[in-house]
A and B are shown apart, each in its own frame.
Chain A
Amino acid sequence: MSGFDKVVTSYEEALEGLEDNMTIIAGGFGLCGIPENLIKEIKRRGTKGLTIASNNAGVDGKGLGILLEDQQIKKMIASYVGENALFEAQMMSGELEVELTPQGTLAEKMRAGGAGIPAFFTATGYGTPVGEGKEVREFDGRNYILEEALYGDFSIAKAWKADRYGNLMFRKTARNFNPMAITAGKISVVEVEEIVEVGQLDPDEIHLPGIYVNRLIQGTFEKTIEQRTVRSA
């Protein structure tokens, strides 16, 4: 690695330094735009006691779901955790702690974490179980709760295309939580479908600047579809 070149050549190198009990912020929505190979590498490493913030927790055998098989996750911060029998079993038995967070609040907590904003007020969750124990402030006659930013020791994410400096482009709704997740990690690791030479991406079309990216790796992806829904011609 030299200068601004963020490219690493192995997944082992991509997650070097990941240790037990760390916090990881992960991009993806359902199984769309998930860093599937980085998740597999976490499974291979056998890292335990992880706190993971991600909109969802994968499904049985796919995505973050595979990290439940060897009880690698201690705590999950997510907005929706359905469609995962193993998750359900570990949550019900108490071995897996779950902090349900509204989807927009979760995205903003990641964004705030990456943008140096320690907390923010939102109306989302006021008067509900999510607001319990949180500071309430009234602005212009409406009540808001204080939500704190999220920070990760690592963030793991998936983009479509990158140049070697880590400038990123995402594809369609595989963008989702990925840009904010990347910004919120001390060490951000991004896997992409294609890496091009510097200068080949139009600066006006870069979705996330490489300044947020520490390590970049090119991979191949299964891209599992959760709900294949079609119409007939």
Chain B
Amino acid sequence: MALTREQLAQRVAQEFKDGYYVNLGIGIPTLAANYIPDDMQVMLQSENGLLGMGAFPLDEEVDADLINAGKQTVTMVPGASIFSSAESFAMIRGGHVDLTVLGAFEVDCQGNIASYMIPGKLIKGMGGAMDLVAGADNIIVTMTHASKSGASKLLAECTLPLTGKGCIKRVLTDLALMDIADGKFILRERAPGVTIEEIAKLTGGELVIPDNVPEMTF
């Protein structure tokens, strides 16, 4: 079975380490914050200028001056800090954020990512995604493995305009966890009940299949 949104978020959270500063993109990445283990400290960075983002506020706590990068009202945890957008991207570009998780339309086996623009359709902009992929060393892209019509989104070469070039080393899809190295996808884990053949059929670009590809556990 393909992973649910919640399972994707849970698997992302397994990449967290105690003391990590993490930037979570809008959508499934944000859900991962719900699965931070109790015995672990993880601090969430929101690129609009907040380190130490907390849960959504109670109704009476709502503050128009306190939002996340998705423009949602949020709270701050004890130990949080506030800074300008220039400072925020200095910490992103400077490689100070330990883990970045974001979504994409396509990823290819050269580590290229396309996530912000579909030519001919509405162009909304890249927001902070280009800075995040260029600045972070440790990035996980979360996405569905294929479109609803069965077209692979893990490709030999991205077809859409790029958000970043050669910067993605790890992709988590609803079917598999893959690393990217030397122009190849390397299959690391598969979703429970999903076969290697199914994954291979839906993966464009060269796929390396190690001897042991365990199922994900939750």
Contacts and interface: CB of A to CB of B under 8 A. Distances in A.
Q: Which of B49, B57, B128, B163 has the most CB of A within 10 A?
A: B49
B1 interface: no
A53 interface: no
Interface string A201-228: 0000000000000000000000111111
Q: Describe A's contact surface by its main secondary structure.
A: loop
Given A107-B84, A128-B162, A228 B73 contact: yes
B84 A230 contact: no
Interface stretch (A10-18, A42-50, A171-179): A171-179
Nearest to B69: A29
B127 A80 contact: yes
Nearest to B127: A80
Interface stretch (B60-68, B173-181, B183-191): B60-68
B93 A104 contact: yes
Nearest to B130: A102
Interface residues of B, number: 52
B122 A88 contact: yes
A139 to B, nearest CB: 13
Main secondary structure of the interface of B (DSSP, over half): loop
Nearest to B126: A102
Contacts of A128: 130, 161-165
> For B50, B55, B82, which residue has the most chain A Cβ atoms within 10 angstroms?
B82
With a 10 A CB-CB cut-off, give which of B72, B89, B129 has the most chain A CB atoms: B89
A80 B126 contact: yes
Contact of A231 (B56, B63, B66, B123): B56
Contacts of A127: 112, 162, 164-166
Contacts of A227: 67, 70-73
A226 B74 CA distance: 12
A146 interface: no
Contacts of B56: 229-231
B48 A173 contact: yes
B57 A231 contact: yes
A185 interface: no
A123 B162 CA distance: 13
A126 to B, nearest CB: 6
Given A172-B82, A227-B72, A104 B65 contact: no
A231 B123 CA distance: 32
A55 interface: yes
Contact of A129 (B55, B72, B127, B161): B161
A25 interface: no
Contacts of B42: none
A81 B125 CA distance: 6
A105 B86 CA distance: 9
A124 interface: yes
Given A32-B71, A107-B88, A227-B71, A124 B82 contact: no
Contact of B64 (A32, A98, A111): A32
Contact of A103 (B66, B83, B131): B131
B25 interface: no
A126 B162 CA distance: 9
Given A30-B67, A178-B84, 8 more contacts: A32-B65, A100-B125, A102-B128, A104-B88, A123-B135, A126-B165, A228-B62, A230-B73
5 contacts: A82-B122, A107-B85, A107-B89, A122-B93, A128-B162
Q: Which 4 A-B pairs have the closest CB atoms?
A: A104-B89, A127-B165, A104-B131, A82-B124
